[in-house]
Amino acid sequence: LIAGAPPVIEVDVDRTWWILESDEAIALLETDPKRGLDATQVELRRQRFGSNELEREPARSPWLIFGAQFANTMIVVLAVAGAITAALGEVKDAVVIAAIVVLNAAIGFVQEFRAERAMSALRDMTAPTARVVREGRQITVPAPELVPGDLVVLEAGDVVPADLRLLEAPNLRVNEAALTGESLPVDKQSGALAAGELVAERTNLAFKGTAVVYGRGRGVVVASGMATELGRIAALLGQQRSPATPLQRRLAVLGRRLAAAALVVCVVVFAAGVLRGEDVSLMFLTAVSLAVAAIPEALPAVVTISLALGAQRMASAHALIRRLPAVETLGSVTVICTDKTGTLTEAKMLVERIWTLAGELELTGSGFEPSGQVRAGDLPHLPEPETAAARLLTVAGLCNDAALIAPSDGGDWSVAGDPTEGALLAAAAKGGLDPENLRRTHSRIEELPFDSARRRMTTFHQAPGGELAACKGAVESVLDTVSTVAAPDGERPLVGVRDLVLGQADAYSQAGYRVLALAGRLIPASEPQDRAEQGLVLYGLAAMADPPRPAAQRAVEACRRAGITPVMITGDHPATAAAIARRLGVLDHEEVVTGATLVEEHARGLADHVERVAVYARTSPEQKLDIVQAWKSRGAIVAMTGDGVNDAPALLAADIGVAMGAVGTEVAKEASDLVLTDDDFATVVTAVGEGRRIYDNIRRFVRYTLTSNTGEIWVMLLGPFVGLPLPLLPVHILWINLVTDGLPGLALGVEKAEPDGMRRPPRPPAESIFARGMWQHVLGVGLLMGMIPLALGIWGSATDRPWQTMIFTSLAALQLGNALAVRSERHSIRSLGFATNRPLLATVVFTLALQLAVVYWPTAQGLLTTEALSALELGVVLVASTAVFWVVELEKAIRRRFRSRPGTEGPGG
């Protein structure tokens, strides 16, 4: 600051602070390293940099958001249809349509707040207060009042209030999982770094919103508010908007086409009737009724009900839907970008293997539960007390501050304390030791705590005949304290086996394990008790990993069978990521790419080879976003899983954002469409199957209702040409539209999944809802559905029978047969089973009963202008009305025969 003049702050908050020594950072920030800032400096910097808070855009008016939901073709068509229906006196039908319109608008209204809630959750992650040194005194201030240059004091349990360049970091460990995806707390230090392109590499910085889990520290604020890493993610999040789902896009196109078709039908029927000399008002009502019939106003209801029921089923399978259209979008997914820790793996660091000079041992058991076995090969082998493995497990239990917590509600065992120490403690218990009894009989006398410089911890315990030294830590660090190595035939000098030990440690590391060395020594009572880290005996190595979830490999295989590409994106080390990916089948011949490699690539360049990469390690939030956008630029429908703040922009940009419910941050959950309560990748695959079922059901309804509507249109258009001036009255059309169209259509929305639903490739993202032969089916079967009633009408008219009632009844019965036949596009009704969709079966019976009631009940006859049919007439009508059912079944048989040939199976089955 310039003395004698208003200070002008020229702090560069975008500087690469990690490459500077701490005194250089202090000098650039013009801060006194002991006294901190004074009140004047604080005020001027607050004016310059603003509050240490995350910004948010001004909220739009709720009325504007709600009104925007009606800028949708199908909604407009529905509103017009409702108005026309009300004008025609069908008040109940109009009320139902209005309710559908309002429900769809409400769903869209709720969706608009998702990004804003995610921003609010980001704000909540910041620390409410901070301990800061100002004018030589340590005081507590609200975190938003921090400014660049402030000296901040950190202790275990604190949430870091701003981005800090650490000045002191004795034993400081910070959990950055929410920001970087690293599965373990990060050891911090205060020295300058040569590199730090990725956040995870900047170990001399502490970042806003992360949590101190061990030790203490002192740092200077180098960035506040939106200039922090958390603020940068917030800015990315604010730039993203949830994309329209494939279903929303398809229904928008369908709505526009049906609106145009309805208008054409209305004009043609009205003009043709007037030209024939029919009453103008009657033809207007007929034309409008037929236009309303051409619009499947029950479609939004079927979609909403199908999605809601699907959401209920997913909730029972540990998947909570936050955005209803996402249920169907899951069925369109072609790529699943998944986090590793907690999703593909159990998020529990466990000791899987122990290595000594006597050989390798494998630990079995479930999670942290203190039961299991140590196995040598396939045979159970509990180590004898004097073996190297037994001594290793003893050190694991003693050089340890963690505790195993028994489940209180039937859940899993957990750990209080450091996860790594919890893994070692569980290993000791699985080896037959009782950790609590071990600690009682070997009380701790002294300890040399873990230090980031030494990278090891040593404790000293009372033991029979003297004191026991127990040491654990990084392999090379522990070897510095070792003189001999335990072997089956005694002890060998370290010099002769050092390369063997290091080679085994490297092999474990390459396989994705985290490796610790464990050593110790019984110091006889006759020796001086110097309690030094020297002359120890190396017992062996413990290889620990976050094991894959039991169902994850099967889920990855299911993805492959379903034509879905699994991609792992993690903040972990590349070797760890690659090892887990190979075990699960995610990685085969594809590439492993690190964040450092992606730094040099723009998202557009990434899109050129994104299909060749199966694993991304050490990635930043921007890179996760780039990966999602690169896949989307290739036309993929992308699901993205994540749990941290760093995942939020990609979660929001993906077609389906999937957050972890158990360990996920509120930011990730608010940015997501789907929340997994069990954090299991297999649940995502189950949800994809449910999404495919729902889309199949929506296609069933569209196929059914458009075929039925086409049949009505053919009857009205062709009737005059075969001598039937007005085949159906307006009231007949509205009855069919309301009863025989609506009720069976709703029941089709609960059809069970087809057996091959997850053994077929995803449908192409750009595929029309009319693809795979639907429009041909609609026109062809619709024409048949129109010709049969007309043929019955001609016969009835020629023989002086109630021909109009015969046409009316046959059209209704034909639609019911069609409903039974379109339950599957490929499988026969016999293979599906008549009773497997009981709601549909009940609806068909009920609807047929209603139709017969309006034919034979005198009151209904007067309302719908019908006449009673004789037994012969009814029999002929019902037999003829089975024709559509048999024709559709024949069509499916031909389809099955054709698609059974090699190379003829198309996308989507």
Catalytic residue selected from 93, 339, 418, 741: 339
Residues 6+ apart with CB under 8 A from 543: 351, 352, 353, 354, 355, 508, 511, 513, 514, 515
- Neighbouring CB atoms inside 10 A of 547's CB total 17
Helix (H), strand (E) at residue 153: strand 151-155
Q: What sign has the CA pseudo-torsion 859, 862, 863, 865?
A: positive
Query: C-alpha distances in angstroms, 481 versus 239, 333, 526, 747?
Result: 53, 54, 21, 74
Alpha-carbon distance of 398 to 205, in angstroms, equals 33
Closest among 909, 873, 868 to 892, alpha carbons compared: 909
Q: Rounded to 5 degrees, what angle do the CA atoms 304, 307, 308 make?
A: 80
CB 833 within 8 A of CB 840: no
What is the distance between the terminal CA atoms of the chain, rounded to a whole angstrom?
Answer: 71
Question: Tokens at residue 594, please?
Answer: 């690190």
What crossing angle do the helices spanning 883-899 and 774-798 adopt, rounded to 10°? Answer: 150
3-class SS at 780?
A: helix
Alpha-carbon distance of 515 to 534, in angstroms, equals 21
For residue 540, is it left (φ>0), alpha (ψ between -120 and 50) or beta? left
- Compute φ and ψ for 357, nearest 5 degrees: -65, -20
Residues 6+ apart with CB under 8 A from 50: 224, 225
Question: Tokens at residue 593, please?
Answer: 């790419």
Respond yes or no: is residue 339 known to be catalytic: yes
For residue 303, is it left (φ>0), alpha (ψ between -120 and 50) or beta? alpha
Query: C-alpha distances in angstroms, 510 versus 266, 339, 347, 720?
Result: 71, 20, 20, 81
Residues 6+ apart with CB under 8 A from 752: 693, 836, 837
The stretches of 164-205 forming alpha helices (DSSP H) are: 177-180
Question: Tokens at residue 336, please?
Answer: 């699943």
Helix (H), strand (E) at residue 805: helix 803-821
CB 447 within 8 A of CB 460: yes
What crossing angle do the helices spanning 552-561 and 681-718 adopt, rounded to 10°? Answer: 30
How buried is 827 (Cβ within 10 angstroms: 0-12 exposed, 13-18 middle, 19+ buried)?
A: middle
Distance of CA 539 to the CA centre of its chain: 44
Q: List, in sequence order, every residue forming a beta bridge with 416; answer none if it has no partner.
A: 403
CB 702 within 8 A of CB 687: no
Alpha-carbon distance of 531 to 521, in angstroms, equals 10
How buried is 888 (Cβ within 10 angstroms: 0-12 exposed, 13-18 middle, 19+ buried)?
A: buried
- Neighbouring CB atoms inside 10 A of 384's CB total 8
Catalytic annotation, residues: 339
